[in-house]
Chains A and B, each alone.
Chain A
């Protein structure tokens, strides 16, 4: 499961130019691991970086976008690792939906 140290510099993100995007939806078919569509057909893009395998699919999605709205960019380098600690539960605002 550890990806630390492996190909960190090669990780990428997809992003969409919301003004160019016309909601054709091809991207979600080609890269379902990172892109899903809302109920109006516009992409909702995950901010999780992709490694080289997935990036190959991302290239195809970018190339397929009829509106030239989709692009890839290098993922920002992860923050320096802090010693592993059990996650602290965050206090939830009261009255929030469960």
Chain B
């Protein structure tokens, strides 16, 4: 049904626009014919069933792009060694409200993503793969149509696209596995982890959408090509979703090691008018603007300024906005987004959110600061998942980065920024997932 050549252009994308080479400028999804003409067919038959690709991904040094940054090749090797046939679960639920990169890839480069799903499955010896998106995004129908287009490719992997209603914690990997297994989308407490026993009790490779898109390119162009650019320890490119005080918000692809200042410039952020940058999402950290500008874009680079790269969320805070009020709104969202399974989280996070809100509003009692510091110490590390840890990290970074504001609010009451429209997006109570993609404003750069 396709008139596309069997083997198209083999030219590897040059420069730093690798994944975004599969994204058209006009915001239209790339058709299968166009995709094959640009990238050629996925070389799945070379050297056996595809286990060579585990080696290739490992040598490439690819790290997961969903937030944890775990070496993908190592994860694939573990799953591929399972006694029973493993399953692949690709996480496209993009629970971070300020992240749009996975939605952009699925929306506009569906065949690169599906190539990656097929490649990951063949590499670990799986014949079934799940691609889970968030419901209400229309991405499931879109991807199903793309799958129909591929019917003639004879791919030997059954791909199931499913839309999950799980909220912020529902996109955590053990929660996703639980949901695919027919139970509630709640994180699990103890081992076994999904790579040991996941979907249908089988070893399950849980990977992020951007990660499999990189795998699709590594399958074609190899480990050496992948590692040509970027930092030695975590090579390649990474997608960042830049928003906030940006003239051109959107998804930016940058080689790891690029200074964040360059990324901000591409997105039209004027650093002279920003007080801080949120790096990594709602489990991430506020970084003062000066430190953020010189931060290398990488996991290690983010750590060097006291943050984490997470899933590549970058939000520029206008100097007139109130970082404490922003933090208070997000903390309230995180407090009500927990699974409610473990004690410290449903009690501790609302308490922390309340204290941050009081500080932002200038209504905090004297003891609130001491309470808050104690809660920030006592809550992390005691949940089944990392939800409380991430939320605490976010709140703690606000107290450090906006320390001067904390003092000012205590004596002068709330600042004028508290009345400005919210910068950080908060999903509404019914749908706690990402908003539907808006290609008109969420273009790629």
Interface residues, chain A, CB within 8 Å of chain B?
17-23, 38, 40-42, 44, 93, 95, 97
Stretch in B37-45, B61-69, B126-134, B339-347 with 4+ CB within 8 Å of A:
B339-347
Chain A residues, Cβ within 8 Å of B342: 18-19, 21, 42
Report the Cα distance A27→B248, complex, angstroms.
56
- The reply to whether A23 and B343 contact each other, CB–CB distance below 8 Å, is yes
Asked if B373 and A42 make an inter-chain contact with CB atoms under 8 angstroms apart, the answer reads: no
From B189, B382, B403, contact of A42 by CB (8 A): B382
At the interface, yes or no: B28 with Cβ under 8 Å from chain A?
no
Min C-beta distance of A70 to chain B, whole Å: 13
B348 at the interface (CB under 8 A from A): yes
Q: Which residue of B lies closest to A16 (CB)?
A: B382
- The 3 tightest CB contacts between A and B, nearest first, are A18-B342, A42-B343, A40-B347
**Which of A22, A42, A93, A97 is in CB contact (< 8 Å) with B344?**
A42
B382 touching A41 by the CB < 8 A rule?
no
> How far does the alpha carbon of A40 sit from the alpha carbon of B351 in the complex, in Å?
11
Residues of B with C-beta under 8 A to A40: 343-344, 347-348
Q: Do the beta carbons of A44 and B189 come within 8 Å of each other? A: no
How far is A72 from B212 in the complex, measured between Cα atoms in Å? 40
Q: CB distance A17 to B343 under 8 Å?
A: no
B341 contacts which chain A residues (CB < 8 A)? Answer: 18-19
Q: Is the interface of A mostly helix, strand, loop or mixed?
A: loop
Q: Is B384 an interface residue (CB 8 A)?
A: yes
Cross-chain pairs A/B with CB under 8 angstroms, 15 sampled: A17-B190, A17-B384, A18-B383, A19-B189, A19-B342, A19-B384, A21-B342, A21-B343, A22-B343, A23-B343, A38-B378, A41-B343, A42-B343, A44-B378, A95-B400
Q: Which residues of B contact A18 (CB under 8 A)?
A: 189, 341-344, 382-384
Q: How far is the CA of A20 from the CA of B383 in the complex (A)?
A: 11
Write the residues of chain B forming the contact surface with A, with a CB cutoff of 8 angstroms: 189-190, 306, 341-344, 347-348, 373, 378, 382-384, 400, 403
Closest Cβ of chain B: how far from A55's Cβ, in Å? Answer: 21
Quick check: B189 and A17 within 8 Å, CB to CB?
A: yes
Interface-central residue, A17, A19, A93, A95, by most chain B CB under 10 Å: A19
How far, in angstroms, from A21 to B189 measured CA to CA in the complex? 11
The answer for the CA separation of A43 and B161 in the assembled complex, in Å, is 41
Q: How far is the CB of A25 from chain B (nearest CB, A)?
A: 11
How far does the Cβ of A95 sit from chain B's closest Cβ, in whole Å? 6
Contacts of A20 in B (CB 8 A): 189
Chain B residue at minimum C-beta to C-beta distance from A40:
B347
Q: Report the minimum CB–CB distance from A37 to chain B (whole Å).
A: 10
Q: With A and B bound together, what is the CA distance between A45 and B373 in angstroms?
A: 19
Complex: how many Å from CA A40 to CA B306?
30
Chain A contacts for B403, CB-based, 8 A: 95
Task: Report the minimal beta-carbon distance from B348 to chain A, rounded to whole angstroms.
Answer: 7
Q: How far does the Cβ of B208 sit from chain A's closest Cβ, in whole Å?
A: 25
CB closest residue in chain B, given A94: B400
Inter-chain pairs besides A23-B343, A41-B343, A44-B378, 18 sampled, C-beta below 8 Å: A17-B189, A18-B344, A18-B382, A18-B384, A19-B189, A19-B341, A19-B342, A19-B384, A20-B189, A21-B342, A22-B343, A40-B344, A42-B382, A44-B382, A93-B306, A95-B400, A95-B403, A97-B373
